[in-house]
Amino acid sequence: MFVKMETADKISNIVIGKTYLVAHVNVKNPNNEPPLDVDVPIIPIWHNDKIDFGFDHNHYHLDGRFIANRGFIAKTWNVEDGLTSVVVSDKMGNIVSDIFYKKKKCLRLDTGVPAIRIYKPEFIKKYSGKSCKGRKCPHWGTLMNEVDGELICPMHRLKGNLQTEIII
Would you list the DSSP string of 90-101?
S-TT-EE---EE
Q: Examine residue 167 and state whether it is found in any structural domain, yes or no.
A: no
pLDDT at 132: 95
Q: Judge whether 28 and 95 are in contact, CB under 8 Å.
A: yes
pLDDT, tens only, 134-147: 999 999 999 998 88
Q: Examine residue 144 and state whether it is found in any structural domain, yes or no.
A: yes
Mean pLDDT of 65-88: 90
- Measure the CA angle with vertex 134, ends 129 and 139; round to 5°: 50
Residue 115 has pLDDT above 70, yes or no: no
Q: Examine residue 1 and state whether it is found in any structural domain, yes or no.
A: no
Q: Judge whether 88 and 67 are in contact, CB under 8 Å.
A: no
Look at the chain and report how many structural domains it folds into.
1
Strands 159-161 and 150-152: antiparallel
Pick the most confident of 33-37, 74-78, 105-109, 155-159.
105-109
Q: Examine residue 166 and state whether it is found in any structural domain, yes or no.
A: no
pLDDT at 112: 86
Q: Examine residue 3 and state whether it is found in any structural domain, yes or no.
A: no
Domain, as residue range, for 58? 8-161
Q: Which amino acid is at 37?
A: D
Distance CA 109, CA 131 (A): 22
Q: Examine residue 104 and state whether it is found in any structural domain, yes or no.
A: yes
Q: Examine residue 134 and state whether it is found in any structural domain, yes or no.
A: yes
Band (pLDDT 50/70/90 cuts) for residue 74 is very high
What is the rounded radius of gyration, in angstroms, for the C-alpha atoms of the chain? 16
Q: Examine residue 168 and state whether it is found in any structural domain, yes or no.
A: no
- Model's pTM, two decimal places? 0.88
From 1-5, 24-28, 83-87, the region with the lowest mean pLDDT:
1-5
